[in-house]
Chain A
């Protein structure tokens, strides 16, 4: 009897329940539109660049040197240059970044000193990239006499990339359950053995994701290499780390602003290659992450 009375009460005010349903539906629709709006630009950019740049893409475009004062031919040296710079950045920033992350996550006590390190890292991420470029020019190019070179450019990009790598790697290390560390220590492992055999393998996918995202940003940056590594045109590929190099982002900047009568097709073709390079790395990072999640045992 009671039960039926309660049902009656639930149905007593159908209007209010309908209006609340309507409000909820309006709210969801609004949020859905917001979500669509945020992803629109990325699709718009990719589609626009694909549309305008695809006609320029050919085997020659990818494998030949520029000719006719960069107004024709290919962009091969710029592709190779960006590849070199990315590798060079990885050589410096990956060991340094992961090492710092391990220190911060596994060894560092919570002291004023380590808090300062953390604040410094966060602030490093906020410095405008052109400032890194200027810093690299002063330190690496002039003071250390590396000249305008792949080495100087890689070092500059490394400093810029470090905060991304350190913070994502530290996060990945901290995500490994503390209980694994305690168990490992309790069976007689040292801290370092615990890190090497348990913590690092478990956090490696997360660290790799951070590394790739950091390098991806380095590959696409123009300002840091502007004064430190990039050259407008080189007749041959760089033959040592101390050679200057052409690079995709800088090449795009130059042919878009500095060359009168530049065919638009080549500009968009270059942009397309750069975007493919960066999005390709992104895809690798995403794949690593989702595979690792599927296989994770915790």
Chain B
């Protein structure tokens, strides 16, 4: 099943730094779609289109369609706060809010109007179990979130997006600052999460891309060079540029 359909997407920033040119791609539900390529290729920009976080940036031009469940999310009339609850995001650097572990999770629910204590408590436990953090923090939920280690903070950030019961989770190099053990934990978590969610991941290395991809898309300088199912792209790329990048000849 196709979850997100991107049609002729163009994006330009005012400073002309990074952009997307005529992107067409499908993102399947219950899969990990990996978006990879060298820096400046437009991967992060694409992710930020999916939850309209680009609204905060200085965008000069955006055109085309991004259809999520039959709705064009680029339509200025849509409710962006509802979209962002439906499409969660985890950033490269774990940014925990300056509050307790528990409040980091309940924040998103409270601002959308959830006040029932029992619901909040239930949601906190559920999201922490999903992100494989529950056992480590269950006795210290009221401690400041900054007291957690980097790997724990990143899983807390994952839990923070899961707590809203999103349908799509965007991860922008979520393991770039983590040690191999924490990275392994996050990757294992993602494999479990894809049963319920649609996952779009910008990996921090080609190796990670090859490890986790159910579908992979190679981006270079704002263009989608090719997209292929499973590990196909890493074994038998069609485009010379993809091959060169995977083989480490540039990038």
- Contact residues in B for A188 (Cβ distance below 8 Å): 81-82, 84-85, 108, 111-112, 164
- Contact residues in B for A177 (Cβ distance below 8 Å): 95
Q: Is the CB of B88 within 8 A of A187?
A: yes
Q: Is the CB of A186 within 8 A of B97?
A: no
- Contact residues in B for A123 (Cβ distance below 8 Å): none
Minimum CB–CB distance for A186 against chain B, Å = 5
A72–B191 Cα gap in the complex (Å)? 85
Question: Contact check: which of A182, A187, A197, A296 meets B85 at CB < 8 Å?
Answer: A187
- Contact residues in B for A184 (Cβ distance below 8 Å): 97, 107
Q: Is the CB of A183 within 8 A of B91?
A: yes
Mark out the residues of chain A between 204 and 226 whose CB falls within 8 Å of any chain B CB in the assembled complex. Answer: none
Residue of B nearest to A177 (CB): B95
The listed residue with most A CB atoms (<10 A of its CB), out of B93, B95, B99, is B95
- Contact residues in A for B51 (Cβ distance below 8 Å): 186
Mark out the residues of chain B between 73 and 90 whose CB falls within 8 Å of any chain A CB in the assembled complex. Answer: 81-82, 84-85, 88-89
Residue A148 is within 8 A (CB to CB) of chain B in the complex: no
The listed residue with most B CB atoms (<10 A of its CB), out of A184, A202, A297, is A297
Residue B44 is within 8 A (CB to CB) of chain A in the complex: no
Q: Is the CB of A190 within 8 A of B81?
A: yes
Q: Is the CB of A180 within 8 A of B98?
A: yes
A193–B164 Cα gap in the complex (Å)? 17
A179–B51 Cα gap in the complex (Å)? 16
A34–B112 Cα gap in the complex (Å)? 57
Residue A234 is within 8 A (CB to CB) of chain B in the complex: no
Mark out the residues of chain A between 151 and 191 whose CB falls within 8 Å of any chain B CB in the assembled complex. Answer: 177, 179-190
A298–B89 Cα gap in the complex (Å)? 21
Binary flags per residue of B96-119, CB closer than 8 Å to A gives 1, else 0: 011100000001100110000000
- Contact residues in A for B88 (Cβ distance below 8 Å): 186-187
Q: Is the CB of B98 within 8 A of A297?
A: yes
Minimum CB–CB distance for A180 against chain B, Å = 6
- Contact residues in A for B38 (Cβ distance below 8 Å): none
A183–B154 Cα gap in the complex (Å)? 13
Residue of A nearest to B90 (CB): A186
A163–B34 Cα gap in the complex (Å)? 51
Q: Is the CB of A197 within 8 A of B53?
A: no
Minimum CB–CB distance for B141 against chain A, Å = 16
Residue A198 is within 8 A (CB to CB) of chain B in the complex: yes
Binary flags per residue of B32-56, CB closer than 8 Å to A gives 1, else 0: 0000000000000000000101001
Binary flags per residue of B133-176, CB closer than 8 Å to A gives 1, else 0: 00000000000111000000000010011001000000000000
The listed residue with most B CB atoms (<10 A of its CB), out of A180, A186, A296, A297, is A186
Question: Contact check: which of A182, A187, A198, A202 meets B161 at CB < 8 Å?
Answer: A187
A186–B166 Cα gap in the complex (Å)? 12
Q: A186-B53, A187-B107, A202-B98 are in contact. List 14 more A-B contacts (CB 8 A).
A: A182-B56, A182-B91, A183-B95, A186-B51, A186-B84, A186-B88, A187-B88, A187-B160, A188-B84, A188-B108, A189-B108, A190-B81, A296-B98, A297-B144
A-B interface, 3 closest residue pairs, ranked by CB to CB distance from nearest: A187-B108, A297-B98, A188-B85
- Residue ranges of A at the interface with B (Cβ–Cβ < 8 Å): 177, 179-190, 193, 197-198, 202, 296-298
- Residue ranges of B at the interface with A (Cβ–Cβ < 8 Å): 51, 53, 56, 81-82, 84-85, 88-89, 91, 93, 95, 97-99, 107-108, 111-112, 144-146, 157, 160-161, 164
19 interchain pairs, CB-CB under 8 A: A180-B95, A180-B97, A180-B98, A182-B91, A182-B95, A183-B95, A186-B84, A186-B89, A186-B161, A187-B85, A187-B108, A187-B160, A187-B161, A188-B84, A188-B85, A188-B112, A189-B107, A189-B111, A197-B111
